[in-house]
Structure 1
């Protein structure tokens, strides 16, 4: 991680081949997003680490440097705390990953050639907080994306916290500690199924008891982490792989049954039917160790 500070502003050196416009294109795909705001290519977001909440504005200069400004007197005093914010941003944008081998592979791949060229510079945008990633995975099960975003907003505004600045609220995702104390009846106002409410509360309780944590999962192999997640009520292979991909950063994570992935393959290959699972497995052989990036780039074709 290469970064320095200039007059209370953090400046992060970006890797070769990073393109902010490609990433903003992904981040601004849904107007109902409640965890950050994008205006004039500047992201405003609350970053919560331990008990410290910082409201930051993130902008990029010539795709070479990412500038992080603190708003509302929320700059952490200690350098190690600011370093944690840099780490969070690195994880969010997957900045430590060299994508050169992915692009080399994609050039020769019938499915990835077009999206890799068109969206060059896009990273797999992460969800560094495990509870948020798991909730988002559960909320998104078997519904369209717009409705999933609506549920997330309801959940966050009902149980989350916020920092107010310039007359606007910038939200903090609800903590697992808070959700662990609720019953499904407390979530009845949110238009999700009772089952999803039970799953989210169950996940929060596991985390509150210390039985489930990002640190614990990160120490496991991909297969062991996948098995651990699938054992949890409400988490099937799709949700597990989604979380392994976007939070735990396993590049081999592959939500093969994902509807978006299936539809994008159909579009790119100009098929008049959906590809079968066997066909997808065959097509994905060259993606070895880059399955998560291949999936993310193919999703990007859809919007």
Structure 2
């Protein structure tokens, strides 16, 4: 169990990150879209609203020397309760994937023809997570068969129409819509977001499953292996192998999650190998043969070359 310290004078949590971590590299990744609506980055600090322990908390996240993270609670007139501190700390640790030991992955990558370049270029980058299951699945559904830029546009429309926000010093900070809100919508409520009818149906369907308790993060985490968890997800309408593996990577942290049919993965491999044609599935399986239980991180680092 990682113990975090609270600087009571500043209402600030101090979180110690592992050696193989670079706050600046992760901040660079988080800055990839100017249309991100769930946090703001200003002067190397992240500002984000979190819903923890049944209350909305606004935090500022910064770092010193890359590996010491400071989380400041904003707009509070009372002291921060211990259970709230712990919940916020846990969220940050999950978001930045601080509890994964990357040393074995970096040792593996040293001699891997596909991973040498991205690991050298982005050393300290973490598989930035989406701790909330509904948000992770929704983001996966929104991103199906469209480019990343338009996916961010759809997310902003959804969040600003159905999410909640808090204000601080004249700025609004948004929370992703809850399953309870989306479950009560109709397709007609969502099509004005300029999403396809099928995506609207998928989002509402997933939200209803979660509200009924038929889909939970705990149940997926208790799956015996990544294939079992993938099968549980792909039984759900609107979730195919790509979306399932995306959720397994970014939310559930299955290290062997591997979206092998992903176009971005193919393009990044093509880029590294300097070939004209994308690799076949058989070639990918051969090239990834040494990645056992690091497929998720290998994919994320290869994606980073493009996004």
Q: How much is the aligned-residue C-alpha RMSD, in angstroms? A: 1.1
Alignment of 1:193-232 (within 5 A): 193-221=196-224, 222-232=226-236
Aligned to 1:3: 4
* Other structure's SS at 2:47 match: strand
Q: Mean Cα displacement is larger for which, 2-11 or 126-135?
A: 2-11
* Other structure's SS at 1:285 match: coil
Aligned to 2:259: 255
Runs of 4+ in 1 over 2 A off after TM superposition: 74-78
Question: Could you tell me how far 1:78 is from its partner in structure 2?
Answer: 2.2
Whether 1:64 and 2:55 are equivalent positions in the alignment is: no
Whether the aligned pair in 1 keeps the contact of 2:25 and 2:122 (CA below 8 Å) is yes
- Aligned counterparts of 2:130 and 2:211: Cα–Cα separation in 1: 19
Question: Could you tell me how far 1:225 is from its partner in structure 2?
Answer: 1.1
Alignment of 1:22-33 (within 5 A): 22-33=25-36
Counterpart of 2:271 (choices 261, 264, 267) is: 267
- Aligned counterparts of 2:30 and 2:78: Cα–Cα separation in 1: 24
Question: Could you tell me how far 1:64 is from its partner in structure 2?
Answer: 2.7
- Aligned counterparts of 1:219 and 1:85: Cα–Cα separation in 2: 23
Whether the aligned pair in 2 keeps the contact of 1:58 and 1:66 (CA below 8 Å) is yes
Aligned to 2:248: 244
Change (3 A) 1:74 1:231: farther
Aligned to 1:293: 297
Change (3 A) 1:177 1:253: same
Whether 1:96 and 2:92 are equivalent positions in the alignment is: no
TM-score where L is the length of structure 2: 0.97
Aligned to 2:15: 12
* Other structure's SS at 2:290 match: helix
Aligned to 2:88: 85
Question: Could you tell me how far 1:89 is from its partner in structure 2?
Answer: 0.6
Question: Could you tell me how far 1:50 is from its partner in structure 2?
Answer: 4.1
Aligned to 2:156: 153
Counterpart of 1:134 (choices 127, 137, 142) is: 137
Whether the aligned pair in 2 keeps the contact of 1:54 and 1:76 (CA below 8 Å) is no
TM-score where L is the length of structure 1: 0.98
Question: Could you tell me how far 1:77 is from its partner in structure 2?
Answer: 3.6
